[in-house]
Amino acid sequence: MTTTATHFLDKTDEQQAITEMVRQFVDEQVLPVAEKHDHEDSFPDEVVEQMNELGLFGVTIPEEYGGMGLDLTTYAMIVEELSRGWISVAGIVNTHFIGSYLLMKFGSDEQKDKYLPRMATGEIRAAFSMSEPELGSDVQAIKTAATKTADGDYEINGQKMWVTNGLRSALVFLLVKTDPEASPPFKGMTCFITEKEPGAHENTGDYAGLTVPPQLKKMGYKGVESTELVYDGYRCPAENILGGEEVGLNTGFIQMMDALEVGRVNVAARGVGIAQRAFELGIKYAQERKTFGKPIAQHQAIQFKLADMGTKLEAAHLRVLKATRLKDAGVRSEVEAGMAKLFASEVGKEVVEDAFRIHGGYGYSKEYEIERLYRDAPLLLIGEGTSEIQRMVIGRKLIEKHKI
């Protein structure tokens, strides 16, 4: 179901075919099992296996590396569809996508050859790690550090927090401090591609010194793991600095901020997807449930709510499209990505809440899907930068642009 027929008119034939394929996959394979995995907080192995088969882990990876070579706009449309089913399955793809973006944009040829083909098929998955127990928004305050050893490797020590795909990933794109004296601090930060054993809590052998504690218990966004990562004497070869040591040392902050721009569009697309599903549930229930002798959809207050939900949903989708199309055209789109993230994540939460209200008491029951959406939606206000941080970025850029 879409809010209006025009919802699809802005797609190319290829985009139309892919999003229809993903929608069918979501209807048949994701929605029927989402509640079960949500209630059990279990990883949806069978769904991820099918996502591998559909090539969804390599959507933006170039064809020469075995991916589909599609643009960010098409990727965002896919994320909208996946999130309509369950934002956790979109989450499994999202940090993997950020890792592949970092490699494609900043990786050395050797790094691309080594990792991208296996990432494209989903054989290995990636995580993206900046946050620490004491910081999320204030990235320059990172304490995890890498120090060069006598044999040329780097030794990494420190603790990371909230790592999506933290357990099952094989690669973690990790932002650490490499020059503690750098001023401002961001000039002393580096992104390492740290390898690990997928699924192992205690890494051994080449990856010794990396522990993955039990996954964090969350309000929603179940199934996909969020973990801490403890690096304690973990050795990483210098060649695993993103872009190589010569180019990549102390440039990690800039690389990660660039990746966050697409990461924000990612989250915005998730906001659209969850809002779409909430809208579908709300408009259906409103026509089924009767009060005072007629379907509640006949009450003007409910119609107004549905009108606002549909309008916000369309607007959020268009905001995402603007940001992705600019990025695909090679235009720096920090403001547009920030606006899309801010607007679509807030819309996700608001439309879900409206659909929850339309469900009355049943919305509070675990028997109804809207209950899960109500617990899932708030994550989008936090991940890839909170709404407050988006406003800071947007405000600063707008003042620069309109300087008198």
Ligand X SMILES: Cc1cc2nc3c(=O)[nH]c(=O)nc-3n(C[C@H](O)[C@H](O)[C@H](O)COP(=O)(O)OP(=O)(O)OC[C@H]3O[C@@H](n4cnc5c(N)ncnc54)[C@H](O)[C@@H]3O)c2cc1C
* CB of 389 vs ligand X, minimal distance in Å: 6
| β 145-148/154-164 pair status | antiparallel
Residue count of the chain, please give it: 404
For the chain, the distance separating the N- and C-terminal CA atoms, rounded to the nearest angstrom, is 47
DSSP 217: P
Reference 25, options 97, 78, 63; nearest CA is: 78
Element (H, E) at 401: helix 387-401
Secondary structure (3-state) at 365 = coil
DSSP sequence for 316-339: HHHHHHHHHHHHHTT---HHHHHH
Site for ligand X (CB under 6 A): which residue of 130, 238, 268, 380? 130
**Among residues 137 and 365, whose Cβ is nearest to ligand X?**
137
Q: Does 131 bind ligand X (CB under 6 A)?
A: yes
Catalytic one among 35, 280, 384, 388? 384
- 346 among known catalytic residues: no
Site for ligand X (CB under 6 A): which residue of 74, 111, 194, 226? 226
| Token code pair at residue 34 | 């989402």
Q: Does 95 bind ligand X (CB under 6 A)?
A: yes
Q: Does 230 bind ligand X (CB under 6 A)?
A: no
Secondary structure (3-state) at 145 = strand
Q: Does 142 bind ligand X (CB under 6 A)?
A: no
**Among residues 108 and 266, whose Cβ is nearest to ligand X?**
266
Q: Does 163 bind ligand X (CB under 6 A)?
A: yes
Q: Does 383 bind ligand X (CB under 6 A)?
A: yes
Identify whether the C-beta of residue 177 lies closer than 8 Å to the C-beta of residue 144: yes
Amino acid at 323: A
**Among residues 1 and 141, whose Cβ is nearest to ligand X?**
141
Reference 268, options 226, 204, 323; nearest CA is: 323
**Among residues 199 and 360, whose Cβ is nearest to ligand X?**
199
Q: Does 83 bind ligand X (CB under 6 A)?
A: no
Q: Does 123 bind ligand X (CB under 6 A)?
A: no
Of 45-53, 74-82, 123-131, 293-301: span binding ligand X (CB under 6 A): 123-131
Residue with tokens 């993206």: 128
Kindly write out the interface string for residues 353-382 of this chain, putting x where it contacts ligand X by CB under 6 A and - elsewhere: --------------------------x--x
Given the rule CB under 6 A, which residues bind ligand X?
95, 128-131, 135-138, 162-164, 218, 221, 226, 379, 382-383, 385-386, 388-389
